[in-house]
Amino acid sequence: MKGKTALVTGAAGGIGASVARALGEQGVRVAAVDRDADRLRETARELTADGHDILPFPADVTSAAEVDTLVDTVERELGPLDHLVNAAGVLRLGRVDALTDEDWTATFGVNTLGVFLMSRAVATRMTGRNRGAIVTVASNAATTPRVEMAAYSASKAAAAMFTKCLGLEVARHGIRCNVVAPGSTDTPMLRAMWHDETGPEKTVRGSLDAYRLGIPLEKVARPADVADAVVFLLSDQAAQITLHTLTVDGGATLGT
């Protein structure tokens, strides 16, 4: 992968930042994208200080105009994109009767519309070069119902299926499109769901009231665990893999 160029959304922290680091370790030049400009620049500084080629590009993935400008800028400054990782995501918790219109719109805006806009912009350019790989970071909640996660689960399911439909359309151009579906991962998003120091233990143990089975491997994933799966699917080691979902959840959804 050395010498290739990737664009990673949601790169200011969590899984996105870990993906940017993992790609940097492979010698990939990374355009790191996030709407939180301050955090993004700080993350890029940290990764650059560690010897990785990471450049920050603040942008809102829910804006078609910003996305098109962003991709043009990245390709002009860094060269043709070989890889795209859709890792930007938001979580709005709440039972359906408590979800607001804004909760639903904001969730689908980032998790689904953002994936569509970014993938369309990048894939259009990749098809002219007959090469490329795209990975969307979805969730195991895309295939397993979760209490208080209707908006999140539905948005991730839509993003996952969109990615596979795109993959079917661009396969003849040598472009592969895959999905990584994390389970509980130690990120700010997950930590925001914990109310005290027992949060990790409860996550591993599961909750009968919420129909959660827990995690058979008895550990919460690290962002690096998810990043390793993303890098694999982007790499030539996965040259014959497309339209696939790789679940990284320690067995929480029993392989479904």
What is the Cα–Cα distance from 246 to 226, expressed in whole angstroms? 10
CA-nearest of 146, 169, 90, 84 to 119 is 84
Judged by DSSP in three states, 232 sits in helix
Beta bridge partners of 185: 221
CA distances from 173 to 23, 166, 168 (A): 23, 12, 10
47's enclosing H/E stretch is: helix 37-49
What 3-state DSSP class applies to 136?
strand
Catalytic positions, please? 152
The CA–CA distances, whole Å, from 68 to 5, 64, 72, 78, 123 equal 17, 6, 6, 15, 12
